[in-house]
């Protein structure tokens, strides 16, 4: 089976779906790999690194023509689909629920498509879960970005010229990104507080050294360990519990999402107006509408001296590591789906069933 790595075409994207190192591991398992020229450049992987790993380096058209399986980080687009043939297998993030036109276009080509973002969140799928591997890096980078934008340092510093008190960091949402944001802010010496609608996250936040701000969540629903939309009553109780910390925070990182829904507004404009002059909010939920009422996607909004940064670029900005982890997820996924170099098509199996969106031109999931 020949696996083709395509160069990402989405603006600002720097990642690549397979690194030379992971390509080598797949080759050792009997797969052939072909990569589009320059596909790894923005992740600091040269064409020669792929060649050294045993990968064929070819022009875009050749990769589309020769590969049985085509890999991308971002969804395939119209231009890609012009080159896709019947019988080819596409693997990438497809966000199929919000991309029905793309799914129809793939189906009309007679192709097959797996969506990595549809990975079930079960223990045995953890090492194939690109949302987790990328969100982890996003949590780290959000704090680094915040540190850069702040006019203060994180740690306590006692100097001959006086003592600098540590910065206060507040994290909303203690999922994958939130936990890494806590760990990073803590390592840099900040005083960290965190809150989440799921009470089971208290212990996790505390184990990383954060103070957990508990909000009474009685009556709030959750599903399979994931948050559902919070009630207005919860939002009010959350504000009461968190406001004191919010108004004293130097950096706020928001990571709260509800699978398949718009992100909840956790910080209103009125709250932003009461925050400290010079405070920074990094809103990692900006692509899902944002956790802060004033945030705008990929923009910095300054409100009453508070910088609100709505960002999605976090994993791309550490593309070498992001690509490495993405590639390892893909490796595990391909090994899971195949046997002796061929797809097993075990549709009764949960991971295959959930991620297989189109099979030979037939749409399985909407």
Interacting residue ranges for ligand NAD, rule: CB under 6 A: 121-123, 125-126, 129, 131-132, 135, 172-178, 195-198, 201, 225-227, 230, 255-259, 264, 266
**Measured between alpha carbons, how far is residue 287 from residues 53, 149, 261, 296, 318 in Å?**
36, 20, 11, 9, 18
CA distance 114 to 354: 9
Smaller CB separation from ligand NAD, 106 or 128 = 128
Give catalytic status of residue 132 as yes or no.
Answer: yes
Q: Which of 25, 95, 117, 121 is catalytic?
A: 121
Smaller CB separation from ligand NAD, 43 or 355 = 355
What tokens does 29 get? 């398992």
- Closest distance of CB 353 from ligand NAD, Å: 15
Smaller CB separation from ligand NAD, 8 or 354 = 354
Q: Which of 19, 132, 271, 319 is catalytic?
A: 132
Rg of the chain in Å (alpha carbons): 22
Smaller CB separation from ligand NAD, 162 or 219 = 219
- Closest distance of CB 190 from ligand NAD, Å: 20
- Closest distance of CB 173 from ligand NAD, Å: 3
Smaller CB separation from ligand NAD, 266 or 280 = 266
Q: Which of 129, 196, 250, 283 is catalytic?
A: 129
Give catalytic status of residue 126 as yes or no.
Answer: yes
- Closest distance of CB 227 from ligand NAD, Å: 3
- Closest distance of CB 233 from ligand NAD, Å: 12
Q: Which of 126, 222, 231, 274 is catalytic?
A: 126
Positions marked catalytic: 121, 126, 129, 132, 226
């Amino acid at each position: 089976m020949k696996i083709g790595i395509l160069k990402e075409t989405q603006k600002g994207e720097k990642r690549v779906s397979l690194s030379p190192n992971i390509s080598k591991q797949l080759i050792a398992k009997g797969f052939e790999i072909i990569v589009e020229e320059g596909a790894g450049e923005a992740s600091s992987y040269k064409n020669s690194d792929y060649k050294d790993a045993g990968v064929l380096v070819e022009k875009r058209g050749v990769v589309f023509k020769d590969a049985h399986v085509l890999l991308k980080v971002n969804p395939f687009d119209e231009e890609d689909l012009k080159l896709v043939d019947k019988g080819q297998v596409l693997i990438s993030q497809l966000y199929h629920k919000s991309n029905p036109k793309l799914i129809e276009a793939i189906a009309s080509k007679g192709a097959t498509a797996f969506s990595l973002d549809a990975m079930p969140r079960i223990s045995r799928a953890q090492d194939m879960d690109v949302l987790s591997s990328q969100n982890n890096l996003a949590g780290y980078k959000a704090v680094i970005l915040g540190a850069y934008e702040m006019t203060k340092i994180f740690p306590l510093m006692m100097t001959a010229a006086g003592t600098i008190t540590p910065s206060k960091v507040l994290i909303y949402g203690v999922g994958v990104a939130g936990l890494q944001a806590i760990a990073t802010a803590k390592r840099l010496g900040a005083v960290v507080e965190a809150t989440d609608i799921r009470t089971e996250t208290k212990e996790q936040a505390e184990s990383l050294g954060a103070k957990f701000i508990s909000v009474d969540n009685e009556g709030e629903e959750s599903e399979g360990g994931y948050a559902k939309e919070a009630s207005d009553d919860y939002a009010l109780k959350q504000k009461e519990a968190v406001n004191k910390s919010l108004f004293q925070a130097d950096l706020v990182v928001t990571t709260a999402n509800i699978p398949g829904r718009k992100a909840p507004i956790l910080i209103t404009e009125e709250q932003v107006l009461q925050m400290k002059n010079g405070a920074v909010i990094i809103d990692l939920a900006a692509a899902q509408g944002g956790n802060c009422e004033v945030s705008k996607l990929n923009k910095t909004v300054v409100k009453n001296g508070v910088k609100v940064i709505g960002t999605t670029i976090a994993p791309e900005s550490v593309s070498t590591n992001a690509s490495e982890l993405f590639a390892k997820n893909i490796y595990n996924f391909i090994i899971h789906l195949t046997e002796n170099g061929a797809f097993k098509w075990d549709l009764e199996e949960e991971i295959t069933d959930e991620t297989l969106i189109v099979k030979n031109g037939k749409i399985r999931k909407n």
